[in-house]
Amino acid sequence: MANDSRSERERLKEEYKEHYRKMREIKERASRAKRTQNIVGALKSMDKTEMLNSFDDFLYSVKHKLASVEARLDLAMDSLADESEDTISQQEMDEEMRKSKAKDTLRQVKMEMGLLYNEIEEQANNIKVNKTIGRDSTALSDRSDNEYEEE
């Protein structure tokens, strides 16, 4: 009799555990669905004009930097073309000087263009919007962003 009641208690205990596992799983699903719903709502209510304005500002700054680099290159090329040659030996020396100046100028412009590209990449990365609506601080530490994108 004691053995029967003990086995019955163990069976009931396992049933309760299974019941609580299912309840916890359902609560987790509901929580994930709620977070997904909050994210979707936030995305729908986002102010698109603000994002477009920030992108337009970014694009304007890129065009401005590119135009200034092109203007400097034009000035450097014009200054090389405007130099006059006095004598043949002077002309050869001037030719070598112009070539070296042109190489230095082109090297500098290429370096600035590389820096400009890095600045553009940095600004593009800064434009990204962090989606924080619907997340609590414990969920942020427990889950990665990839999991939110998959849902």
- Chain-centre distance for alpha carbon 6: 61
Q: Is the Cβ–Cβ distance between 65 and 119 less than 8 Å?
A: yes
Residue 36 clears pLDDT 80, i.e. is over it: yes
Helices (H), the chain: 2-44, 48-82, 88-126, 137-142, 145-150
High-pLDDT (> 90) share of the chain, %: 24
Residue with token string 């205990």: 13
Confidence of residue 147 (pLDDT cuts 50, 70, 90): very low
- Is residue 41 over pLDDT 80? yes
Q: Taking the complete model, does pTM exceed 0.75, yes or no? A: no
The per-residue pLDDT for range 127-144, each reduced to its tens digit, is 765 556 655 555 444 444
SS3 6: helix
